[in-house]
């Protein structure tokens, strides 16, 4: 009996010891893998923020330089109008103006200052004399830190909603100025980093005082953007994975840890990830319906590219497209989307002349001598007519109209429609639109969001519609989300207007849109009497 108990006790003891050792090993290995994974995601987030930070800094410097070079009278109506045009053409700026001493003289938002002067002292001054203001009076936004930059007597206000990336709730980011170690934090939680500042001022990843950091600095080195989280938050967000490591045991935990180490090994940067994804045809393409505003019928769709990085984290299109533009391979994305459109909608475009698909193209595409022949060859092979494929270019490209004009004319002569996207946010003049032979314009969603408010953008909408009518341009309104917004344009236009937005349909895979078109066709065949048009709203 005693021998039997000893015989049984030894394997039980070994099992208990093995389980305990495995649990400890699994715990240590689990923490290591989770921290490694988190550091990689933090690094990707910081890199995306740095790309936006470089762009916004370059834009503000350019605008301030133009403002200081103005020869108009200080705060004259002509100068304020010129400043407003600069702000409207910018991507990251909210307002601009002049200062006299430490008081605001005029701004693009409020015009010439009247009454008691509004005084403001800079939060700090950089080494080149640039003054930085936090929450400048008159420009406060609840719950946001609004940054103003002054050079000479001119100042600009950053739009606090532009610097943004999609990130988990437990991930935070902060901006650090190296000259003054000042941090502007935009956090989903009110948690400031406990670091004395050194980790936030140098490129790289680190761990200190219970926090994980990943930092990328601007090209000039003055500003660093850091993504960070606490160890507790990282473990809490991955608590199920952590528990799994502990329960697997010694051998299972070790094997699982090795596999996870391979799966979550250090990424080599967002640019290389993007190149790999393009070569593997791993970018996604979704399609948002475009409808006739008066009838509600689907008459087209816009192809939109999507991408998740190696960590399965969605990367905003404006981030990875800008990276592709800066690195010179954005044309590969355009070609991928073109192939996908012809593959997804080739038969539909051949059979339905009343339906078209729009594709966004970049400045590099317009300047590429091989772009037009490539499009022509692809359409010929797919037996798709040119009028079934439209092109959208952002308004900023029209500033290089000498480069764009030739390509746009070629596309128009082939039968393609060419639209100016995000119209009203750039600086296209009437002469540009005339010279470029544009087919139509897409009114930016910022104007649509302003409907029902007292924003200055609402007053511009009737002028845009009237201009389009006089130039015989097709108008497409993007970002319509409510019936009130749709009704605004319905009552103010007698000609055909196209609409796009969540009210009519979100971006969906090709199969969903094809099913949607099929249902509409069946309803029209069943319900439409001769000479009577049935309006179908999606």
Which of 500, 352, 361, 491 minimizes the C-alpha distance to 419? 361
Residue owning tokens 């302003």: 450
pLDDT of residue 537: 29
Residues 309 and 373 in one domain: yes
Residue 218's SS3 state is: coil
The larger pLDDT score, comparing residue 135 to residue 525, is at: 135
Question: How far apart, in whole angstroms, are the C-alpha atoms of residue 354 and residue 362?
Answer: 26
For residue 390, give the nearest of 352, 359, 354, 348 by alpha carbon: 359
Rounded-to-integer distance, Cα 439 and Cα 100, Å: 45
For residues 261 and 244, the model is more confident at 244
The CATH number covering residue 389 comes to 3.20.20.450
* Rounded average pLDDT over 101-118: 88
State the pLDDT at residue 299: 93
Q: Read off the pLDDT of each residue in 139-157 and give the average, rounded to a whole number.
A: 88
Residues 381 and 301 in one domain: yes
What residues are paired with 500 via a beta bridge? 478
The token pair at 419 is 């639209």
Last residue of a domain, one of 266, 301, 327: 266
Please state at what angle helix 317-327 crosses helix 330-351, rounded to 10 degrees: 120
**What does the alpha-carbon distance between residue 246 and residue 271 come to, in Å, rounded to a whole number?**
35
Specify if 428 maps to a domain: yes
Rounded CA separation 492/461 (Å): 10
Residue 438 and residue 416 in one domain: yes
- Percent of the chain with pLDDT strictly greater than 70: 75
Residue with tokens 């005339």: 434
Indicate if 212 and 291 belong to the same structural domain. Answer: no
Given a contact cutoff of 8 angstroms between Cβ atoms, the answer to whether 492 and 466 are in contact is no
User: Which string of DSSP letters, residue by residue, matches 57-99?
Assistant: HHHHHHHHHHHHT--SPTT-HHHHHHHHHHHHT-SSEEEEEEE
Its domain, for residue 381, covers 279-522
DSSP three-state, residue 517: helix
Which range (47-51, 229-233, 438-442, 452-456) has the least confidence? Answer: 452-456
The pLDDT of 374-391, averaged and rounded, is: 95
Q: In terms of pLDDT, which residue wins out, 522 or 355?
A: 355
The number of domains in the chain is: 2
For the segment 401-438, what is each residue's pLDDT rounded down to a tens digit? 666 788 888 999 999 999 988 887 655 555 567 677 88
Residue 404 domain-assigned? yes
State whether 338 and 466 are in the same domain.
yes
Beta-strand relationship, 211-217 and 103-107: unpaired
Instruction: Please list the residues that pair with 150 across neighbouring strands.
Output: 131, 155
**177-205 pLDDT, tens digit each:** 766 555 444 433 333 444 445 556 677 78
How many other CB atoms are there within 10 angstroms of residue 210's CB atom? 10
Confidence of residue 535 (pLDDT cuts 50, 70, 90): very low
pLDDT band at 387 (very low <50, low <70, confident <90, very high): very high
Answer whether residue 4 is part of any domain.
no
Residue 75, by phi and psi: left (phi above 0), alpha (psi -120 to 50) or beta?
left
The residue behind tokens 């319509």 is 480
Residues 451 and 507 in one domain: yes
CA distance 427 to 93: 14
343 and 462 belong to one structural domain: yes
Asked if residue 348 and residue 309 are part of one domain, the reply reads: yes
Of the residues 266, 288, 318, the one at which a domain ends: 266
In the predicted structure, residue 389 carries a pLDDT above the cut 90: yes
Cβ pair 212, 234 in contact under 8 A: yes
Highest mean pLDDT pick, 128-132, 167-171, 284-288 = 284-288
- Model confidence at 152, in pLDDT bands (50, 70, 90)? very high
Amino acid 428: pLDDT:
52
Please give the average per-residue pLDDT across 72-92, as a whole number: 93
Per DSSP, the chain holds a count of helices (H) and strands (E) of 15, 20
pLDDT band at 513 (very low <50, low <70, confident <90, very high): very high
pLDDT value at 105 more than 70: yes
Predicted pLDDT at 524? 55
Phi/psi for 437 (5° steps) reads 55, 45
The answer to whether residues 76 and 140 belong to one domain is: yes
**Residues 201, 246 contacting (CB under 8 angstroms):** no
As a whole number of angstroms, the distance between CA 325 and CA 387 comes to: 27
Please indicate, yes or no, if residue 138 is contained in any of the structural domains.
Answer: yes
pLDDT (0 to 100) of residue 149: 93
User: Running DSSP on this structure, what letter comes out for residue 508?
Assistant: B
| Residue-wise pLDDT tens digits, 337-361 | 999 999 999 999 999 999 999 999 9
Q: Based on the domain organization, do 402 and 499 belong to the same domain?
A: yes
Residue 168 has pLDDT above 50, yes or no: yes
Hey, which of 338-342, 463-467, 480-484 has the most confident mean pLDDT? 338-342
Q: Answer yes or no: do 310 and 252 share one domain.
A: no
Report d(CA 52, CA 309) in Å as an integer: 18
Mean local confidence (pLDDT), 367-382? 93
Answer yes or no: is 410 within a domain: yes
Q: What is the mean pLDDT of the chain?
A: 79
pLDDT at 7 over 50: no
Is 323 part of any domain? yes
Residue 232: name the closest of 266, 183, 181, 189 by CA: 189
Contact predicate 39/211, CB 8 Å = no
Which pLDDT band holds residue 114 (cuts at 50, 70, 90)? confident
Nearest Cα neighbor of 24 from 259, 253, 264, 257 is 253
Paired sense of beta strands 356-360 and 298-306, if any: parallel
pLDDT score of 67: 95
Contact 104, 75 (CB under 8 A): no
The pLDDT of residue 147 is above 70: yes
Residue 163 has a pLDDT of 60
The pLDDT tens digits for 13-53 are: 545 655 666 667 767 777 777 778 888 888 888 888 888 88
In a domain, 424, yes or no: yes
Residue 13: inside a domain, yes or no?
Answer: no
The label of the residue with tokens 């160890």 reads 231
Model pLDDT, residue 119: 85
Residue 499, CB half-sphere, CA atoms under 13 Å: how many? 27
Q: Are residues 233 and 303 in the same domain?
A: no
Indicate the residue among 266, 292, 315 that finishes a domain. Answer: 266
User: CA–CA separation, 246 vs 139, rounded Å?
Assistant: 52
Residue with tokens 């001493």: 101
- Which sign does the torsion angle of CA 245, 251, 252, 257 carry? positive
Rounded to whole angstroms, the Cα distance separating 500 from 43 reads 35
- Confidence at 529, pLDDT banded by 50, 70, 90: very low
**C-alpha to C-alpha distance for 151 and 108, rounded to whole angstroms:** 16
Nearest Cα residue to 277 out of 344, 329, 318: 329
Q: Which residue has the higher pLDDT, 168 or 335?
A: 335
Whether 257 and 199 have beta carbons less than 8 Å apart is answered as no
């Amino acid at each position: 009996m005693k021998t039997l108990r000893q015989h049984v006790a030894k394997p039980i003891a070994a099992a208990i010891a093995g389980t305990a050792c495995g649990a400890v090993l699994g715990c240590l290995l689990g923490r290591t893998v989770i921290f490694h994974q988190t550091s990689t995601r933090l690094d990707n987030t910081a890199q995306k923020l740095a790309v936006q930070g470089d762009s916004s800094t370059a834009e503000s410097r350019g605008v301030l330089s133009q403002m200081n070079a103005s020869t108009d009278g200080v705060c004259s109506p002509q100068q304020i109008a010129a400043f407003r045009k600069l702000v409207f053409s910018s991507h990251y700026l909210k307002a601009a103006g002049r200062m006299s001493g430490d008081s605001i003289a005029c701004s693009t938002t409020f015009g010439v200052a009247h009454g008691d002067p509004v005084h403001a002292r800079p939060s700090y001054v950089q080494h080149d004399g640039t003054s930085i203001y936090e929450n400048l009076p008159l420009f406060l936004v609840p719950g946001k830190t609004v940054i103003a930059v002054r050079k000479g007597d001119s100042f600009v206000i950053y739009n606090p909603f532009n610097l943004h990336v999609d990130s988990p709730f437990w991930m935070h980011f902060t901006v650090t100025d190296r000259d003054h170690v000042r941090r502007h934090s935009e956090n989903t939680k009110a948690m400031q980093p406990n670091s004395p500042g050194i980790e936030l001022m140098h490129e790289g990843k680190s761990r200190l005082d219970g926090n994980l950091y990943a930092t990328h600095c601007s090209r000039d080195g003055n500003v660093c953007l850091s993504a960070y989280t606490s160890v507790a938050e990282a473990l809490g967000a991955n608590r199920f994975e952590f528990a799994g490591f502990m329960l697997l045991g010694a051998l299972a935990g070790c094997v699982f840890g090795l596999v996870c180490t391979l799966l979550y090994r250090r990424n080599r940067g967002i640019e290389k990830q993007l190149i790999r994804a393009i070569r593997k045809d791993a970018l996604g393409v979704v399609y948002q319906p475009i409808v006739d505003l008066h009838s509600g019928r689907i008459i087209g769709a816009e192809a939109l590219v999507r991408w998740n990085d190696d960590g399965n984290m969605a990367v905003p299109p404006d981030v990875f497209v800008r990276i592709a533009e800066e690195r010179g391979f954005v044309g590969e994305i355009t070609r991928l989307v073109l192939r996908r459109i012809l593959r997804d909608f080739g038969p539909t475009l051949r059979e339905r002349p009343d339906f078209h698909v729009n594709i966004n193209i970049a400045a590099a595409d317009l300047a590429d001598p091989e772009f037009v022949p490539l499009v022509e060859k692809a359409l010929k092979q797919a037996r798709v007519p040119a009028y079934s494929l439209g092109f959208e270019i952002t308004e900023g490209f029209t500033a290089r109209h000498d480069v764009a004009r030739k390509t746009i004319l070629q596309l128009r002569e082939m039968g393609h429609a060419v639209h100016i996207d995000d119209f009203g946010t750039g600086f296209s003049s009437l002469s540009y639109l005339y010279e470029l032979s544009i087919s139509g314009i897409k009114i930016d969603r910022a104007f649509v969001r302003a409907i029902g408010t007292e924003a200055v953008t609402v007053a511009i909408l009737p002028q845009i519609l009237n201009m389009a009518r006089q130039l015989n341009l097709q108008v497409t309104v993007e970002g319509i989300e409510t019936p009130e917004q749709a009704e605004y344009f319905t009552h103010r236009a007698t000609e055909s207007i196209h609409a796009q937005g969540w009210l009519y349909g979100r971006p969906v895979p090709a199969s969903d849109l094809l099913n949607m078109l099929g249902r509409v066709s069946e309803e029209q065949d069943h319900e439409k009497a001769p000479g009577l048009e049935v309006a179908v709203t999606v």
